[in-house]
Amino acid sequence: MRVFYVDPGENQDGIHEYSLRLRYPGGHVDTLDTFTRSAEVSWSPSGERLFVNDFVGSNVAECLIITASREGTKIQSATRILSRAHIPEISEHLKGDHVYITCSNWLSSTQLHIEMQGDKFPEGFEYHFTYDLRSGKLAITSPKN
């Protein structure tokens, strides 16, 4: 499989909205995300999954976790995973502005390191998580306030 992007040029507002796509062997193509600023992609060790960090704006970043298969591409939002975990110390931060949720690296083919950072006044915050894609379990590994 290959990941690539398409630049259709500027839209009527003068903005480039890039289309991030996944090409399967045999030629089938899925659109994974669109982005306007920058994005980074990392494949899992097995090559079955990837994450995409979408640096949406100067005040937000989002990680999409993608399981690629010919039966259908499954896309999970790291922000939604953190929201559904109902961890009291991060709930208020998720509602705020200047929140950057990114995936930093694969710990294994099914485990991922997720980071949540922000610069909410008067102090910033930073949390680290391990997410297991098989079990759906999220564990907070290091809160730093």
Report pLDDT digits (tens) over 87-139: 888 887 887 778 899 999 999 999 999 999 987 666 788 999 999 999 999 99
For the chain, the domain total comes to 1
For residue 121, what pLDDT is reported?
Answer: 60
Q: In this predicted model, what pLDDT tens digit does every residue of 117-128 receive, in sequence order?
A: 987 666 788 999
Task: Outline where the chain has alpha helix (H).
Answer: 78-84, 88-94
Question: Mind listing the pLDDT tens digit for each residue in 11-52?
Answer: 777 777 888 888 888 888 888 888 888 889 999 999 889 999
Could you give the 3-state DSSP secondary structure of residue 93? helix
Q: Return the residue matching tokens 């089938």.
A: 28
Question: Domain span at residue 125?
Answer: 2-144
Instruction: Give CA 112 to chain center in angstroms.
Output: 11
